[in-house]
Structure 1
Amino acid sequence: MIGALIVTHGNLAHELLNAARQIEADVSGIEALPLEWNDSVDAAREKIAQALARVGHDRAVIIFTDMFGGTPSNISLSFLEQGRIEIVTGVNLPMIVKFATVKQEAKDVATLAHVIVEKGSKAIRVASDLLTAEKRAGVPA
């Protein structure tokens, strides 16, 4: 099984994990790690290192972060390790739910990361575009 660490600004990490839990996703092996606004880079790096030791002591790990270029992502990138630790930025709830449903079967952390990104990307929609497409297809509103 592959583990996961959700590293975000503030409490977003906890809220994503709580929401996935409410959807009844199996969130075992997933840890939320909020970085506080006043954490120094060294303190944040130490928090991530400790969480990785807990989550990834015997398995590969995907680190989910909230925003590419943000502090959680920038610090997490220093832990990137081919075949063992992968970083996925722009985390959303569908990504966490998908991870929770496929983590047992996944063998390769890099492949799983790409599956998760695809799922997260497909979940982002402009509602009016979908409604317009349905009208064009003759689907009643």
Structure 2
Amino acid sequence: MAGILIIAHAPLASALRDCVAHIYGGLPARIGAIDVLPDSDPSEIVALAHSEIERLREENGALVLTDMFGATPANIASRLSALPGVRVLAGVNLPMLVRGVCYRACELDTLVEKALAGATKGIHAIGPLVAPAPPVGKSADEPECVSPGVPIVPPAGSATAPTGSSASDAASASANAPNSSNASGTVN
């Protein structure tokens, strides 16, 4: 069995561990959590993470799950990736963690594949997708709101969209751009 260590912004690591305890009716063995607080000393957290890996590691190693690639918890977790028998994954979500717990008896690289599959297969849109409402009381220094998935295509030779362009101008330009998404969501 592989041990699992979650390193994330507080209180996410503990919350994910608590969710696993809820799902399984108790916390399975060898699952740890380190919540990184805004004022945490990264060198102290690295030392704590090393000791937690030694405590949690089992015969087939340890899997470290962290929240956001490039953030402090992930940077701390990345230091553990050089240890033998340790793999680190960023972008933890509950489906990734549950899948990791379910497949802890697998060889470590297979466990990584299963956890990654759980993370991505656990993401679904539920119900009809509704465009967001236009902003109310927008201040002059706030940028225009563009619906998710609608890329802003700047005019040829320009690094940014012209000042004063609206979301509908951007959507119109996007519809005429090569490789843009059409109304059905498929790429041309």
- TM-score bracket relative to the smaller structure: 0.7 to 0.9
Identical-pair percentage: 26
Q: Does 1:63 align with 2:64?
A: yes
Q: Distance in 2 between matches of 1:27 and 1:11?
A: 19
Q: Distance in 2 between matches of 1:114 and 1:47?
A: 27
Q: Which residue of 1 aligns with 2:94?
A: 93
Q: CA deviation at 1:125?
A: 1.2
Q: CA deviation at 1:58?
A: 5.0
Q: Which residue of 2 aligns with 1:133?
A: none
Q: Which residue of 2 aligns with 1:11?
A: 11
Q: Distance in 2 between matches of 1:43 and 1:89?
A: 21
Whether the 8 Å CA contact 2:103–2:114 is kept in 1: the answer is no
Q: TM-score under structure 2 normalisation?
A: 0.62
Q: Which residue of 1 aligns with 2:31?
A: 30
The alpha-carbon distance between structure 1 residues 129 and 2, as it changes in their structure 2 partners (threshold 3 A), is: farther
| AA matched with 2:41 | S
Q: Distance in 2 between matches of 1:29 and 1:86?
A: 15
Deviations 1:21-69 (A, max 9, x none): 1111762111111112111221121111111121126540010001111
Q: Which residue of 1 aligns with 2:127?
A: 128
Q: Which residue of 2 aligns with 1:111?
A: 110
Whether the 8 Å CA contact 2:2–2:59 is kept in 1: the answer is no
Higher strand share: 1
| AA matched with 1:40 | D
Q: Distance in 2 between matches of 1:88 and 1:129?
A: 31
Whether the 8 Å CA contact 1:83–1:110 is kept in 2: the answer is no
Residue ranges of structure 1 left out of the alignment (5+ in a row): 131-141
Q: TM-score under structure 1 normalisation?
A: 0.81
Q: Distance in 2 between matches of 1:116 and 1:100?
A: 9
| AA matched with 2:120 | S
Higher helix share: 1
Q: Which residue of 1 aligns with 2:48?
A: 47
- Structure 1: 4+ residue segments shifted above 4 A: none
The alpha-carbon distance between structure 1 residues 126 and 8, as it changes in their structure 2 partners (threshold 3 A), is: same
**Structure with more contact order per residue of length (Cα contacts < 8 Å, sep ≥ 6):** 1
Whether the 8 Å CA contact 1:68–1:89 is kept in 2: the answer is yes
Number of aligned residue pairs: give it: 128
